[in-house]
Amino acid sequence: MVLKNALLSIKKSIGKSLLLLVIMALIANLVLAGLAIKKATEKSMAQVRSSMGATVTLSYNMQKLMQNRKKGASMASVMKAMKMSTADQLKHLKYVQSYNYSTSVGVNSSSIDPVKVSNSSSSNTQQGTSPGKARSSGSAQNKMTETSFSVSGNTTMKKISSFTNGSYKLISGRLLNSNDDGKNYAVISSALASDNDLKVGSSFKVYSTTSSGKKTYVTLKVIGIYKIQSSSASMDNMSDRQNPYNTIYTPLKTAQTLNHSTTTITSATYYLDDPAHTSAFAKLAKKTSINWNTYALQTSDEAYEASVSSLKNMEKFANIFLVVVIAAGAIILAFILILTLRSRFYEFGVFLSLGESKAAIIAQQLVEVGLIAVLAFML
């Protein structure tokens, strides 16, 4: 009976019913559009998270080291070399997809020339002399620091930021991976290769010098050549070693050999599966035996935040849009329904006089609105 009366009422007031249908259809479509935007944004953010992951670096806790050092003591006296055994405690923790240990050492060469920053002499480089040859005068310490190249040893080059962000582009050969450890391979810049007529498969020799003057020689084989697309480094007052074109990437053990230490590294970077797991990883790391008065974890999710900033703004807009549409729609519908009900007071009085209960009358109104709403959402 309630359904029959509701259908008759809709048919009788076809004009008002159509107006209500149009308004409900408009509100429904706006709400669905807002939900679609929100869902698409969340999906895109999830895809960005899974593709980029998060980076956590084990580094020195400079604040604690400054607090604990003796007055007048140098930072070098409290910053002991990072041991691989320390970094190894984190590489197998949950959420870690991969990791990269790196170390850097200055070297010279008697077989290749560095890419010069300028033609003027520099206090830290040997301008106008054969590359790699130390000055005849000066202390052994000066000889050690006057290096023309920087050797960067890495576990893998797969996720080095300069290559992943497009600043450096591989143009020949391949990058180093974890299977190359123990092999004297090198990946060099196209400028260094061009200046010295090097190509993939070529070999050249470099050497490092200790404070006592002892030299360690290593012959490197070129397996990859990269082009520097862009660099944020300023060339002003830059030594040959600081010049990014003179950076030579090698496997970790090769750099450690040149650095005269096979058990220490310069830094350790861990790549997590999701930026959302950074805090959980940090909690697990704190449970290890690492001395957190000496070391600290640094997260580097700026790239992720930059990538999703526009998506977050879109998600925020979608949320505001939904609230406004639902609120405005509810107010408009309430206003229309109130006007409709006021015009039907006589009809309700007739129903009551015929013995209809108030519950049945209310149910009829709900059925009418429900039928129109279902039809509106189907449009």
Tens digits of residue pLDDT in 200-230: 999 999 999 988 889 999 999 999 999 999 8
Domain boundary among 249, 281, 307: 307
Cα angle at 229 between 224 and 235, to 5 degrees? Answer: 105
Is the same domain home to 246 and 198?
yes
Instruction: Please identify, among 283, 307, 331, the residue that sits at the C-terminal boundary of a domain.
Output: 307
Domain shared by 153 and 250, yes or no: yes
Judge if 139 and 241 occupy the same domain. yes
**Paired sense of beta strands 168-173 and 295-299, if any:** unpaired
Mean pLDDT, rounded, for 323-328: 88
Q: Look at residue 45 and give its three-state secondary structure.
A: helix
Assess whether 92 and 30 both reside in one domain. Answer: no
Spatial separation of the C-alpha atoms in residues 298 and 102, rounded to whole Å: 16
Asked if 171 and 108 sit in the same domain, the reply is: yes
- Whole-angstrom CA distances from 31 to 17, 35, 366, 374, 378 are 21, 6, 21, 14, 13
Instruction: Kindly report the backbone phi and psi dihedral angles of residue 94, in degrees, each rounded to the nearest multiple of 5, phi listed first.
Output: -60, 145
145 and 209 inside one domain: yes
Q: How far is CA 73 from CA 67, 70, 128, in A?
A: 11, 5, 38
Do 161 and 296 share a domain, yes or no?
Answer: yes
The two structure tokens encoding residue 301: 């999710």
Interatomic CA distance for residues 64 and 376, integer angstroms: 65
Which residue has better confidence, 151 or 117?
Answer: 151
Range of weakest confidence among 47-56, 67-76, 147-156: 67-76
- β pairing state of 185-189 and 215-228: parallel
Residue 46's alpha-carbon distances to 94, 276, 323, in angstroms, are: 19, 10, 24
- Whether the predicted pLDDT of 122 surpasses 60: no
Closest by CA position to 250, among listed 299, 149, 158, 181 = 181
Closest CA to 102 of 147, 162, 23: 162
User: Max CA-CA distance within the chain?
Assistant: 119
> Are residues 73 and 200 located together in one domain of the fold?
yes
Confidence (pLDDT) at 118: 67
Q: What is the CA radius of gyration of the chain?
A: 35
Residue ending a domain, choose from 307, 338, 367: 307
pLDDT for the residue numbered 175: 96
Asked whether residue 232 falls in the same domain as residue 316, the answer is no
Q: What is the pLDDT of residue 269?
A: 94
The whole-number pLDDT of residue 80 equals 76
Q: Which of 111-125, 135-149, 177-191 has the lowest mean pLDDT?
A: 135-149
Residue 74: what pLDDT?
A: 61
293: helix, coil or strand?
Answer: coil
* Same domain, yes or no: 121 and 193: yes
The domain tally of the chain equals: 2
Q: What is the pLDDT of residue 132?
A: 42
Calpha distance 17→336 (Å, rounded): 11
pLDDT at 260 over 50: yes
CB 297 within 8 A of CB 119: no
Q: Which residues contact 143 (CB under 8 A, 6 or more apart)?
A: 134, 135, 209, 213
The single residue listed with the structure tokens 């620091």 is: 145
Judge contact between 154 and 102, C-beta under 8 A: yes
* pLDDT score, position 202: 96
Exposure of 211 by Cβ count < 10 A (0-12 exposed, 13-18 middle, 19+ buried)?
exposed
Distance CA 188, CA 190 (A): 7
> Please, which residues bridge with residue 265 across strands?
82
Domain of 340?
2-48+310-378
pLDDT of amino acid 177: 94
Q: How far apart are the first and last CA of the chain?
A: 27
Q: 98: which residues sit within 8 A by CB, 6+ positions away? A: 156, 158, 159, 270, 271
Asked if pLDDT for residue 240 goes beyond 80, the answer is yes
Question: How high is the pLDDT of residue 246?
Answer: 95
Is residue 320 located within the same domain as residue 301? no
Given a cut of 70, whether residue 135 has pLDDT beyond it is no
pLDDT at position 281 is 93
Share of the chain above pLDDT 70, in %: 78
Instruction: Please report the pLDDT score of residue 17 as a whole number.
Output: 74
266, two tokens:
């310069």
pLDDT at 136: 40
Statement to judge: residues 249 and 329 lie in one domain: no
Write down the pLDDT at residue 60: 84
Q: Who has greater pLDDT, 253 or 370?
A: 253
Top-confidence residue, 306 or 54: 54
DSSP 97: E
Q: Residue 126's pLDDT band (boundaries 50, 70, 90)?
A: very low
Q: CB of 3 within 8 A of CB of 367?
A: yes
